[in-house]
C-alpha cells in the first residue's frame, strides 16, 4: 500500500514509471504533464508524430480533453467499460480514437481506482520503439534501467495491445487494429 501511495505521488509530480495496465506493461506518466510526456517519448525513442494512449477512469474524463460526450456517447457505450465480445470470459480492451487521441477505459477495477487517484495517464507499451513489449519487470528494467522513476511489478503479463478503433465525426466506427 505504501509503495502505491509513493507511485501516485511520483506520477502527480510529473514522474514516469513502468507498471501493469489491463493489457500489457505500460510506460506511464500523467497525461497532464508535458514534462512526463516528453520524457516518455525520449525514453521510448518514439516518433513524436505517434500519439500516446491515454488511460481514463471514467467516460467523464474525456471532457478534460475537450471531447463532446453527447456526440459520441452512444458509440462509447458499445465498447466501454469493455467490449461485449469477451475472449475466454475476459473482456477485450478497446482503445478509441477521439479528437486525434486514443483513450482506453480499462475493465480492470483496481486500475480504474488507481486512475481515480492519479488522473488520466499516458500509457504506451513498455518497450523502446520497434522492440517487443516487456512481459515482466525484468524485461522492462533491461530496456529502461534507471531512466524511469519506478517499477511496479504485476507478474508476467501475456496480454496483447488493445483493439484500436476510431469514431469518425459522422459516428461511423472504423477498426484500425
Q: What is the pLDDT along the chain (177 residues), one digit of tens a residue?
A: 457 789 999 999 999 999 999 888 999 999 999 999 999 999 999 988 888 999 999 999 999 998 888 777 777 877 776 544 444 555 567 888 887 898 999 888 899 999 999 999 999 999 999 999 999 999 999 999 999 999 998 878 877 667 777 777 666 777 777
What's the pLDDT score for residue 20?
92
What residue ranges do the domains of the chain occupy? 2-175
What's the pLDDT score for residue 82?
58
What's the pLDDT score for residue 86?
46
Q: What is the CATH number of domain 2-175?
A: 3.90.870.10
- Show Cβ contacts of residue 27 under 8 Å, excluding neighbours closer than 6 positions: 16, 17, 18, 40, 43, 44, 123, 124, 125, 126, 127, 144, 148
What's the pLDDT score for residue 84?
44
35, β-bridge pairs: none
Amino acid at each position: 500500500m505504501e509503495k502505491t501511495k509513493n507511485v501516485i505521488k511520483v506520477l502527480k509530480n510529473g514522474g514516469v514509471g513502468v507498471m501493469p495496465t489491463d493489457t500489457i506493461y505500460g510506460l506511464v506518466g500523467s497525461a497532464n504533464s508535458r514534462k512526463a510526456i516528453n520524457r516518455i517519448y525520449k525514453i521510448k525513442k518514439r516518433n513524436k508524430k505517434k500519439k500516446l494512449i491515454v488511460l481514463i477512469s471514467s467516460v467523464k474524463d474525456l471532457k478534460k480533453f475537450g471531447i463532446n460526450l453527447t456526440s459520441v456517447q452512444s458509440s462509447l457505450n458499445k465498447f466501454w467499460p469493455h467490449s461485449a465480445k469477451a475472449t475466454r470470459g475476459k473482456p477485450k480492451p478497446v482503445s478509441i480514437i477521439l479528437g486525434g487521441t486514443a483513450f482506453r477505459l480499462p475493465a480492470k477495477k483496481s486500475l480504474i481506482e488507481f486512475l481515480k487517484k492519479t488522473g488520466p495517464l499516458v500509457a504506451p507499451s513498455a518497450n523502446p520503439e520497434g522492440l517487443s513489449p516487456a512481459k515482466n519487470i525484468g524485461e522492462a528494467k533491461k530496456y529502461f534501467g534507471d531512466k524511469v522513476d519506478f517499477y511496479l511489478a504485476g507478474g508476467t503479463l501475456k496480454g496483447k495491445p488493445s483493439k484500436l478503433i476510431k469514431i469518425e465525426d459522422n459516428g461511423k466506427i472504423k477498426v484500425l487494429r
